[in-house]
Amino acid sequence: MNVFGVDIGGSGIKGAPVDLERGALTEERHKVLTPQPATPDGVAGCVAEVVEHFGWTGPVGVTFPGVVTGSTIRTAANVDQSWIGVDAGTLIGARLGGLPVTVLNDADAAGIAEMTFGAGRGRKGTVILLTLGTGIGSAVFVDGRLVPNTELGHLELKGHDAETRASTKAKEDEDLSWEHWATRRVRKYLAHVEMLFSPELFIIGGGVSRKADRFLPLIEGIRAEIVPAELQNNAGIVGAGMAAAGRAGA
């Protein structure tokens, strides 16, 4: 069965049909820039543009960079604050002409995909996926079961929101070298998360996972195994598609 996944990010909104047998995109993903400000109406319009690019008429899964309960948005760190309290499933579904829409946290979606098709396949114990991008998303699994909406990017690190120190955006905004970012920012953040949760495995996702060889070998002193996401930055789209399939009864 093929379904459709859309991944809403702070800088881009991307989507594609997903093959649930392989956990892979069936066509090259289509991406548009996230509108600024990233208001509900503006983002919903971009989601519709992505879906309509493929002429899709079935169930759609959509990720959101914040806490999602049911399909209602509870936090909105990297998009417009007017999202808070919005029923995203109803809003986006209306823009898609009534197509069934399932909404979930973006990192949770990426984690579900990685635990099923990627680096977390078959792993027991505590596994934590972290997406490093505009912010830091997190997905925590205990023996394969998701603890939803953990949002560990907002842990305090040296008096700051962790994602303002260790995200890819922080690296770019401050023009940090790979070594400085990996050893002084990401390592300290991972050590803090490890102290709190003692995971067996960290999976590092987000767009920067494509360049894992530039920074993961520099991170030392972490007891947990650290690996890049196998689905890289497509994990959110695949996870969104999986969520849509659940809504469709697949």
Q: What is the DSSP-derived secondary structure letter of residue 186?
A: I
Alpha carbon distances (Å) from 144 to 11, 66, 74, 128, 188: 30, 22, 25, 11, 26
* pLDDT of res. 2: 87
Single-letter residue type at 78? N
Distances (CA, A) of 41 to 38, 94, 103: 8, 11, 16
Q: Any long-range contacts for 164-170 (C-beta under 8 Å, 24+ apart)?
A: 165/189, 166/132, 166/136, 167/132, 167/133, 167/134, 167/135, 167/136, 168/132, 168/133, 168/134, 168/206, 168/207, 168/208, 169/10, 169/133, 169/134, 169/135
Write out the E strands in 83-195.
101-105, 126-132, 136-142, 145-147, 156-157, 160-161
Per-residue confidence (pLDDT) for residue 61, from 0 to 100: 98
- From residue 143, alpha-carbon distances to 120, 126, 128, 178 in Å are 10, 6, 11, 33
C-alpha span between 140 and 93 (Å, rounded): 28
Specify the pTM: 0.95
Residues 6+ apart with CB under 8 A from 159: none
- 149 bridge partner residues: none
Give me the tens of pLDDT residue by residue for the chain, a chain 250 residues long.
789 999 999 899 999 999 999 999 999 999 999 999 999 999 999 999 999 999 999 999 999 999 999 999 999 989 999 999 999 999 999 999 999 999 999 999 999 999 999 999 999 999 999 999 999 999 999 999 999 999 999 999 889 999 999 999 999 999 999 999 999 999 999 999 999 999 999 999 998 999 999 999 999 999 999 999 999 999 999 999 999 999 544 4
CA distance 104 to 84: 14
Return the structure tokens found at 171.
Answer: 């690296």
Amino acid residing at 146: L
Which pLDDT value is given to residue 195? Answer: 98
What pLDDT is stored for residue 158 in this prediction? 85
Place of tokens 């986006």: 92
